[in-house]
Amino acid sequence: MDSPRTRRGRRALSAVAITIGLVLAVAGCGGSGDRQSDKSPGGSSAPARSGASGQKQSQAPQTDSVLAEVKGENGLTLTVTSAKRDGGGFVTVEGTVTNNTGTLWVAADWRGDEQELARNGGSIAGASLIDQKGKKKYLILRDTSGRCLCTQFTGGVRDGATAQWFAQFPAPPDGTDTVDFQVGAMPPASVDLSQG
């Protein structure tokens, strides 16, 4: 017999799988098929986001609009490019992290302090959304195995490289339009929520 928590976890995982499938389908349908037009001076192609088990790395900057950008003391730059409410009662936050630390970055301090999150390895599992208006902190969603619904930085991020990430959280109540995204020792990034 499934508990309500198990059903919610399955629904969230299904929503993630559908979202990733749609993103990949849309990305595969785009373009004219002319390889030369992809290399035009003004254009750049954004790397595709992979699932929770890995990420694509790119030297080129992300072309999405930037909602917030914060810099850490050690040379990391965190950029938030999207923060959308989804129909299932959760918020998906996406962005990039650029490693200018001079060494391989493995996201060890981003995985969170909870023992359950240690199994996620180098990931963004320790991220949170803070609703200043409602005075609440929202932790990252997890599946029934304790895995975060977020990006894992498998193999780390090379120096000078940029990696895409995503993280899903329970949605704050309607009327809360701005939240602070925070992870590790990075400063909080204030972002406006949009409807997905």
Which domains are delineated in the chain? Answer: 4-195 (2.60.40.1240)
pLDDT at 120 over 80: no
Q: pLDDT, tens digit, for every residue of 48-85?
A: 344 444 444 444 444 568 999 999 878 999 999 999 99
Strand-pairing partners, residue 130, are 137, 180
149 burial type by CB count under 10 A (0-12 exposed, 13-18 middle, 19+ buried)? buried
Residue 138 one-letter amino acid: Y
Q: pLDDT, tens digit, for every residue of 33-48?
A: 443 434 333 333 333 3
- The number of helix segments (H) and strand segments (E) in the chain equals 2, 10
pLDDT at 183 over 60: yes
